[in-house]
Amino acid sequence: MPGRNHLFIPGPTNIPESVRMAMNVPMQDMRAPDFGEFILPLFEDLKKVFKTKDGQVFMFPSSGTGAWEAAVSNTLSPGDKVIVSSFGHFSHLWCDLLERHGLEVVNFDVEWGEGVPLDDYARVLAEDKDHKIKGVFACQNETASGVTSDIAGVRKVLDDCDHPALLYVDGISSIGCIDFRMDEWGVDLAVGGSQKGFMLPTGLGFVGVSQKALAARAQAKLPRTFFDFDDMIKTNATGYFPYTPATTLFHGLKESLRLLLDEGLENVFARHNRIAESVRRAVAAWELDLVARGPEWYSDTVSAIYVPDGFDATEVIGGAYKNYNLSLGTGLARLQGKAFRIGHLGDMNELMIVSAIAGAEMAMRDIGMNIDPGVGVGAATEYLRSSRAANLASDKAA
């Protein structure tokens, strides 16, 4: 089919042209005397995106799951007690990873559509008087269900009972897209991946690590080699790595960090919010339901949308791909066939999202869903128009 594929899965996301061009470089010597000068500023800019001055950010040549494993294996010991909650495919996988590492896992199974259960965390942490719980895990943005959780709230729960457990946050589909504040929220291990908000190919796993988490290494007995922070610390200090790094991706990262920081993180978050809200307006106009059960859970990076009973969401996704060259996100695990997802993160603007809404609308009508032509597109475009006008007016007033 002529024209490009319209990519609206929640990662890998669209790569800006300048980032793609930046990666079109010859292979280089990762031990060259000037390689460190190229790498060191990347660490500094990454810290700005993670919003940490006190912590350190590591880059592993892995997907996000590797970054999870690094966070866990460097800071915990077999049998350590941890609390986690699962409310979607990815938070469920976190839980699985913890169990496979031989930790004592207390898991809160939450209805899909909601997120981290603060009350349950507060109760269990308050009861844990002798501080057996070593880690508290929270998925900031559950990509499978389009649910965002309150990480500042998790920090408050820990502070309210003066609990010393480390706070681990999965920020893979949130960091660089929606508000994330590592130092302010006292996040000890913050996990990210290159193929979402960083607008890069898959292949860099990021871990932001607080000083407290770095100190926890001394007692942590889980085995680690590839993901050992110690080896990274020694070599990263001068801009090098303990093994062959993904040099090409670093050139893309340099450009994607420039794009994020030039736009300004607060503007990046506001853009994601407006684009997400336009999708929510379309969903309401289609008279469909989001999987997220209320505004407090809405995600600004991905919307998971239920199709009505009697329809199969995989047919919407298949038809969109085959007929309109539009890639929508599939319903994962228990949402398979029940929901489709629109990923609206990364390199995204108004007319791009309108194309996804138009294509989804056409694909839904194609399978006989009762949706008037153009209602979703109309609701989204009117919202985008009016919110832009409102933004311009307030800019002028300021």
Q: Looking at 6, 7, 8, 11, which residue binds ligand PLP (CB under 6 A)? A: 11
Residue 327 as a binder of ligand PLP (CB under 6 A): the answer is: no
Q: Looking at 59, 105, 139, 166, which residue binds ligand PLP (CB under 6 A)? A: 139
Greatest CA separation found in the chain?
64
Least gap, CB of 313 to ligand PLP (angstroms): 18
Separation between Cα atoms, residue 359 and residue 291, nearest integer Å:
20
Both tokens of 192, joined, read: 């990210």
Least gap, CB of 139 to ligand PLP (angstroms): 6
Residue that the structure tokens 């209320």 belong to: 294
Separation between Cα atoms, residue 16 and residue 23, nearest integer Å:
11
Residue 198 as a binder of ligand PLP (CB under 6 A): the answer is: no
Residue 192 as a binder of ligand PLP (CB under 6 A): the answer is: no
Choose between 52 and 149: whose C-beta lies nearer to ligand PLP.
Answer: 149
Q: Looking at 90, 168, 241, 250, which residue binds ligand PLP (CB under 6 A)? A: 90
Residue 204 as a binder of ligand PLP (CB under 6 A): the answer is: no
Least gap, CB of 202 to ligand PLP (angstroms): 6
Least gap, CB of 62 to ligand PLP (angstroms): 8
Q: Which residues of 234-247 are buried (b: 16+ CB within 10 A; e: fewer)?
A: ebbeebbbeeebbb
Residues 6 or more apart whose CB falls under 8 angstroms from that of 89 comprise 142, 143, 144, 332, 333
E strand or H helix at 166, and its extent?
strand 166-170
Least gap, CB of 310 to ligand PLP (angstroms): 29
Least gap, CB of 65 to ligand PLP (angstroms): 3
E strand or H helix at 92, and its extent?
helix 89-100
Q: Is 79 left (phi over 0), alpha (psi -120 to 50) or beta?
A: left
Binding span for ligand PLP by CB under 6 A among 136-144, 146-154, 239-247, 287-295:
136-144
Least gap, CB of 86 to ligand PLP (angstroms): 12
User: What does the angle CA 226 – CA 232 – CA 54 come to, to the nearest 5 degrees?
Assistant: 130
Per-residue binding letters, 57-86, with ligand PLP (x by CB under 6 A): ------xxx---------------------
Both tokens of 44, joined, read: 């500094």
Give the footprint of ligand PLP on residues 26-45 (CB under 6 A). none
Choose between 99 and 350: whose C-beta lies nearer to ligand PLP.
Answer: 99
Residues 6 or more apart whose CB falls under 8 angstroms from that of 194 comprise 200, 201, 202, 203, 204, 205, 206, 249, 253
Binding span for ligand PLP by CB under 6 A among 77-85, 139-147, 209-217, 329-337:
139-147
Choose between 74 and 194: whose C-beta lies nearer to ligand PLP.
Answer: 194
Choose between 141 and 381: whose C-beta lies nearer to ligand PLP.
Answer: 141
Separation between Cα atoms, residue 331 and residue 1, nearest integer Å:
25
Q: Looking at 56, 73, 107, 143, which residue binds ligand PLP (CB under 6 A)? A: 143
Q: Which of 293, 72, 249 is nearest to 170 (CA)?
A: 72
Least gap, CB of 145 to ligand PLP (angstroms): 10
Choose between 52 and 140: whose C-beta lies nearer to ligand PLP.
Answer: 140
Choose between 140 and 381: whose C-beta lies nearer to ligand PLP.
Answer: 140
Residues 6 or more apart whose CB falls under 8 angstroms from that of 262 comprise none
DSSP 71-132: HHHTT--TT-EEEEEE-SHHHHHHHHHHHHTT-EEEEEE--BTB---HHHHHHHHHH-TT--
14 touches 275 (CB < 8 A): no
Give the footprint of ligand PLP on residues 150-189 (CB under 6 A). 170, 172-173
Least gap, CB of 99 to ligand PLP (angstroms): 16
User: Which residues does residue 305 pair with via DSSP β-bridges, in sequence order?
Assistant: 290, 340
Q: Residues interacting with ligand PLP, by CB under 6 A?
A: 11, 63-65, 90, 139, 141, 143, 170, 172-173, 193, 202
